[in-house]
Structure 1
Amino acid sequence: MPDSRPSWHHWPVALAAILFYLIGTCDFALNQIGLDFYTNRFTEKQAEFLNTMPMWLTLVWALGTIGGLTGALLLWARNSFSVLWLFTAFAALVLLTVWTLAFTRPTLLGAMGVLGLYLMVTTCALAFLFYVYARWERTARKLS
């Protein structure tokens, strides 16, 4: 049974997680739909990078973003399943980052440059922190 009152920091962290994963989910959706106002900003190399991504890797990307948003919403609701979803999202984002750095042609670094690398590493770090926070809340019996 969870404690009846959440910690003072629960709501700001849960809201930050929702906003973080909402941005990622919107980016994923706009890329997959292929709306011109969004995809026209890509260079030729970036467009090739995104368009040649195998389907399974696109599904990993979806799991990292939509799964993370699901976990963040469950964290807001103080549900213990948020830990599983946030871990899954973190693992998916790490797999996506490592695979695109090492095995895709062009690589993440070649297509997006150093800024793209920093963005993905920062994304993985934040995903890890949200997972650790949810796990801590579950351990502290703040989640049901």
Structure 2
Amino acid sequence: MSEYNEPAGVKTPWHLWLVGAISLLWNGFGCVDFTMTATRNAAYLEPYPQEMLDYWLNMPLWMWAIWAVGVFGGLLGSIALLLRRKLAFPFFAASFLAASISMGFGFLDKNAPRMEGAGLMSGIIILIALLLTLYASWMSRRDVLR
């Protein structure tokens, strides 16, 4: 059989499934947001002010790439976590780094339009990415991830 046998004493904790499922939904939404923005989906973008749309849709390619690493890295990290793979940590770490760069650049860019609550949301995104990175590291050190 190709079924994985856990080493004696190492059980998959219940919270791994909870964290994995919630993070899959969270990061999945990030991927939807990226995809809808990148494809310029009119219905999805309608609620945003034109000034914000102009800024997002005219970002340099490297910013789009960093955003993609952030959201898809998080999604792959969530999938790896649910599959109990050690790759969860580097995927989440890449997502955290990309989110930090992206949000930091937007915060420091004097030309970036400001939306109410955007700073708080950016902080929440970075915090969740950090916590997922730390969680994957912890699960890896406990040999829950293989």
Write 1 or 2 for the structure with the bigger share of helix: 1
Residue among 111, 114, 121 paired with 1:111: 114
- Aligned residue in 1 for 2:52: 46
TM-score by length of 2: 0.90
Check conservation: 2:20, 2:78, Cα contact below 8 A: yes
Contact 1:137 1:143 in 2 (8 A): yes
Q: Residues 45 and 111 of structure 1 are in contact (CA less than 8 Å); yes or no, is this contact kept in structure 2?
A: no
Aligned to 1:125: 127
Contact 2:24 2:78 in 1 (8 A): yes
User: Greater Rg, structure 1 or structure 2?
Assistant: 2
Q: Structure 1: how far apart are the matches of 2:6 and 2:55?
A: 45
* RCO higher in structure (CA 8 A, sep ≥6): 1
3-state DSSP of counterpart to 2:33: helix
Q: Which moved more, 1:89-98 or 1:2-11?
A: 2-11
TM-score, structure 1 as length reference = 0.92
Which residue of 2 is the match for residue 28 of structure 1? 34
Identify which of 6, 10, 13 aligns with 1:7. Answer: 13
Percent of pairs with identical residues: 21
Change (3 A) 1:29 1:104: farther
**Aligned length, in residue pairs:** 140
Q: Where in structure 2 are there 5+ consecutive unaligned residues?
A: none
2:130 is the alignment partner of 1:142: no
SS of the aligned residue for 1:9 comes to helix
Q: Which runs of 5+ in 1 are unaligned?
A: none
CA RMSD in angstroms comes to 1.5
